[in-house]
Amino acid sequence: MKRLLKVMIMLTAMIVAVLAGSTYAQADVSNTPIHWGFKKGQDEKQADAGKKLNNLLEQYDAVYKGDPTKKNIYLTFDNGYENGYTEKILDVLVKEKVPATFFVTGHYLESAEDIVYRMSQEGHTIGNHSWHHPDMTKISDDRIKQELEKVRAATEEITGKKQAGYLRPPRGIFSERTMEVAKDAGYTHIFWSLAFVDWNTDQQKGWKYSYDKIMNQIHPGAILLLHTVSKDNADALEKVIKDLKKQGYQFKTLDDLMWSRRIKEPMLY
């Protein structure tokens, strides 16, 4: 009986070890959560995340800004759900001939399929924002891959095109482990160097609030993050684009940014 009990304890310990290994396969890589942040840009000087984060991002080919010597802007939007303003934003982008990247969730893919199709047809990039928008540092390697794969498959089914391998981590929370898992799955992390509180739909402050926040932080190489749920953003976008063009800025795609960094375009096959 005692021998049987010892065998059962040993088997239990082995099972626990296996499960632990499948949950966080990269045991030698830190899973300490990092909340994305940086020193804001001003007077056309670039935002800066600091040496430690800069080194970590470089290690995983991740980006949050472009060349400081070129007045390029990379316009990106996070799309968790539709609030009635994305089509107005798309109308402005068509009118001004400006490309953008839209990072979509599973909810958005299921509830706004026609808009996702339009984004693709009008030449915009559709990135991955995960299916359920979880804190990826709290889920297993396998779950991270499942979150990304579901978005990839649904995007390709809707658009008929290969999804670009660009990932924006939900909530701006990540770790070295989650970056490594995503990179192994074919994704490049895209952070941002210009953002502000624009997602509170019950606290919109008028178009000028959005306009001022953007213009006060703009800098060469900016990756601009906006949320399409914001009426302020939709109302301000056309003037923002026109005035930035007057200042000599050009709107580029993330593919342009990757090419300029001599990183092979991250596409999933």
> Per the structure block, which two tokens stand in for 197?
């509180």
- Mean of per-residue pLDDT scores for the chain: 90
pLDDT at 203: 95
- At 109-158, the pLDDT tens digits run 999 999 999 999 999 999 999 999 999 999 999 999 999 999 999 999 99
Q: What pLDDT is recorded for position 43? A: 93
Handedness of CA 116, 119, 120, 126 (dihedral sign): negative
Is the model's pLDDT at 186 over the cut of 90? yes
Catalytic residue among 78, 141, 232, 235: 78
Q: What is the pLDDT of residue 262?
A: 66
Per cent of the chain over pLDDT 70 is 87
Q: Which of 115-119, 234-238, 246-250, 259-263 has the lowest mean pLDDT?
A: 259-263
- Assess whether 78 carries a catalytic annotation: yes
- Which residue did the predictor score with more confidence, 261 or 198? 198
Structural domains of the chain in order of their starting residue, each with its CATH number: 32-260 (3.20.20.370)
- CA max distance for the chain: 84
Q: What is the mean pLDDT of residues 70-96?
A: 98
What is the Cα–Cα distance from 134 to 147, expressed in whole angstroms? Answer: 9
For residue 47 the two structure tokens come to: 């935002």
Lookup result for tokens 């009008």:
122
In this prediction, residue 27 carries a pLDDT of 55
Residue-wise pLDDT for 5-49, tens only, equals 443 434 443 333 334 334 454 458 999 999 999 999 999 999 999
Q: Report, as an integer, the average pLDDT of 149-178.
A: 97
In angstroms, rounded to a whole number, what is the distance separating the alpha carbons of residues 87 and 228? Answer: 9
Q: Is the pLDDT of residue 159 over 60?
A: yes
227 an active-site residue? yes
Task: Give the mean pLDDT of 45-59.
Answer: 96
Quick one: tokens of 188? 């490049």
d(CA 209, CA 254): 26
Give residue 28's pLDDT: 83
Beta-ladder partners of 223 = 74
Alpha helices in the chain (DSSP H): 2-23, 51-59, 86-96, 106-111, 113-121, 141-159, 176-184, 207-217, 231-246, 254-260
pTM given for the model: 0.88
What pLDDT is attached to residue 111? 98
Q: Which residue from 194, 241, 198, 229 is spatially nearest to 99, judged by alpha carbons?
A: 241
Report pLDDT digits (tens) over 207-241.
999 999 999 999 999 999 999 999 999 999 999 99
Tell me, what's the pLDDT at 268? 47
* Cα end-to-end distance, the chain, whole Å: 55
Q: Which comes out higher in pLDDT, residue 111 or 267?
A: 111
Catalytic residue among 124, 227, 232, 235: 227
> How many C-beta atoms lie closer than 10 Å to residue 139's C-beta?
18
Percent pLDDT > 90 in the chain is 85
